[in-house]
Amino acid sequence: MRVWTKSRICFAAMMALVLVGMTACSGNQSGSEGEDGPIVITVGGLSDSTVEFKDGEDLEDNVYTRWLKEEKNIDLQYEFVVSKAEDYATKLRLALSSGSRLPDVIWPNTIELAHELIESGKVKAIGDDIEQYASPELKQLYEEHPEPFASLSRDGKVYGIPGYSSMTGGTVIWIRQDWLDHVGLEAPKTMDEMERVLDAFTHEDPDQNGKDDTFGLALALKNSYNDWMATADWIFGAYGDNLSGHWVEGEGGNLVYGGVQPSVKEALGTMNRWMEKGYIDPEAGIKDANKAGDAFVNEKAGVIAGPYWMGAFPLENLAANNPGANYVPLPLPAGPDGQIGRAWTNKMESMILFSSEFKHMDAYFDVLNEMSGFSFGDESSPFYKGFFNGYDYVEYDGKTYYKKEEIIEHVPEEQWPKSDGGFINVQKYFSLTGDLEHPYMFDEPLLKFSENPEAEPANPIESTVVKWGKYHWNAGAVRISQNEHTIVNAFTGLPTETMMTRSELMDKLESEAYSKIIYGEQPLDYFDTFVENWKKSGGEQMTQEVNAWYESTRP
């Protein structure tokens, strides 16, 4: 018989406590079943620091969730909330591997993840649901812009709907007008003129500070040749409709990979020449978009290519640092044969898939149909003016206000969306439907206001655009003027077999080869060696698979 001394009892008690503690901290909550009242729809939430709420509201309880509850009898429940898109993907993958419930409405952030979801059989084919429940306007929209559906289909069945992009993407050139004035040059329209400008920016002290500390072009080559800012796509586009990351129509109507076409060699030659002469940021190869953009903001570079909204971010920092700086958007310059090209914008900004266990597609489309009223400019829709009064627009005393200055002037402070009079971007928490933008919906308003800044908005969509300000309108107009020069990526299918196993290698070969040529570590003819390598390492196979897909999608 052991003696139960005090210390022995203590030890035993401690051990027991620890064991109990371990078992208590286990167990996930599974998704709750809905009550019999409201329809329960579960989603995963993505909420980072850029999402703004009114006081007292948060992701799970806000004007949107309340509207869903009161008007549509839908109880929106968040199975999880993450702050980064990659974390969302991880949560989905975890749910897949542990066999636990997927949220009803799923937003895979990459096409590979969508592919996995479809293959797992846990998402629903919704072709019939679209037929049955989508409004006639929505169906027409889908018919007008059918390209994304190719990425969402498999074996003839549709598994999701696209969250369309407003197609406001498209590279424009941003240039320091004051530097141009200092060196006495006009805005460049051709590549030759651009080269002259870059030379002047590099060697002729355009910022007139007596120091040789500037160069021409800010470029970000670390992650891709078509990063979101400081891109090089326009350089490639000036020599041919061929660009890395794009599958374009080649001879005989087949698809070929843009990154290995002869015109790319010419573009690389130009970039090499520019690099040797010092026109390009010597550290372009190690910089990503943000760091490369810093060079322009810090007044080291005079030219940078990027989206039309750069005028606001990050270039506004330049205006803050140096009020005298004058930067303007320009159309892309033409190459030796008058050729202009820029990278494409995917019509599909996000993908919405549905769990195979989701039973309320009718309720979903009900919401989608009704809220789309704004984007369609449907006067009869309750959302014609905007989404929610007091958030993205303010109604007061019989008038509707879309401009911050007018709100500050005419509306009492309690009714301001934010304490500084600015608007709240409610669309960021439309977790069921996304921001409901339609392709090209902002183009006409942008053109209208860039030509006539004093014009009055004629409808709520125009009122939204009026908020954006002069920089956006002008840059937007520049971008729209070159819409026809977009190099379309004709391959929108799910990744092929070879792509899944080999694209990492191919991308690495490509970025290494391009970098080496640009930096002069390899002569220009190395490009041909690279192309051979590319074909042998899986490029030929990939091309065949892509064309097999292309054939299958043609009527």
Partner 1 sequence: MKKYWKRTWPLHMLLLPSVILLIIFQYIPILGIVIAFQNYKPWLGILNSPWAGWEHFNYLFTYPASLQVITNTLIIAFFKMITNLIVPFVFALLLNEVRRMSFKRLVQTMVYLPHFMSWVILGGILIDILSVNGGLVNQFLSLFGVNPIFFLGSPDWFRPTVIVTDVWKEFGFQAIIFLAALSGINPSLYEAAEIDGANRWKQTLHITVPSITPIFIVVATLSLGQIMNAGFDQIFNLYNPLVYSVGDIIDTFVYRVGLVGGSFSFGTAVGLFKSMIGFIFIVVAYRAAYKFANYRIF
- Position among 337, 512, 528, 551 found at the interface with partner 1 (CB under 8 A): 512
DSSP structure string for 396-447: ETTEEE--HHHHHHHS-GGG-SSTTS----GGGG-TTTTT---TTTTHHHHH
Quote the CA–CA distance of 394 and 376 in Å, as a whole number. 20
Quote the CA–CA distance of 174 and 306 in Å, as a whole number. 7
- Crossing angle between the packed helical segments 191-203 and 262-276, to the nearest 10 degrees: 20
Q: Which range in 3-11, 65-73, 339-347, 412-420 contacts partner 1 by CB under 8 A? A: 3-11
Is 222 near partner 1 (CB under 8 A)? Answer: yes
Rounded to the nearest angstrom, the gap between the alpha carbon of residue 126 and the centroid of all alpha carbons in its chain is 25
Quote the CA–CA distance of 529 and 504 in Å, as a whole number. 19
Measured CA angle at 438 (ends 432, 441), to 5 deg: 140
- Position among 27, 121, 184, 252 found at the interface with partner 1 (CB under 8 A): 121
Q: Which range in 158-166, 279-287, 368-376, 407-415 contacts partner 1 by CB under 8 A? A: 279-287
Quote the CA–CA distance of 512 and 534 in Å, as a whole number. 12
Contact yes or no for 349/163 (Cβ under 8 A): yes
Is 15 near partner 1 (CB under 8 A)? Answer: yes
| Token duo for residue 153 | 């289909």
Q: Which range in 93-101, 248-256, 326-334, 394-402 contacts partner 1 by CB under 8 A? A: 93-101
Q: Which range in 196-204, 231-239, 454-462, 507-515 contacts partner 1 by CB under 8 A? A: 507-515
Is 87 near partner 1 (CB under 8 A)? Answer: no
Is 298 near partner 1 (CB under 8 A)? Answer: no
Min dist. Cβ of residue 71 to partner 1 (A): 36
Is 97 near partner 1 (CB under 8 A)? Answer: yes
Binding mask 476-505 for partner 1 (x = CB under 8 A): -------------------x---xxx-xxx
Q: How many CB atoms lie within 10 A of CB 338?
A: 8
Using the minimum distance from each CB to partner 1, give the nearer residue, 486 or 511: 511
Using the minimum distance from each CB to partner 1, give the nearer residue, 15 or 455: 15
Output DSSP code: residue 462: H
Is 467 near partner 1 (CB under 8 A)? Answer: no
Contacts (Cβ under 8 Å, ≥6 apart) of 545: 496, 497, 498, 499
- Position among 444, 508, 540, 552 found at the interface with partner 1 (CB under 8 A): 508
Residues that bind partner 1 (CB under 8 A): 2, 7-8, 11-12, 14-15, 18-19, 22, 93, 96-97, 99, 112-113, 116, 119-122, 213, 221-222, 282-283, 285-287, 291, 300, 495, 499-501, 503-505, 507-508, 511-512, 514-516, 519, 537
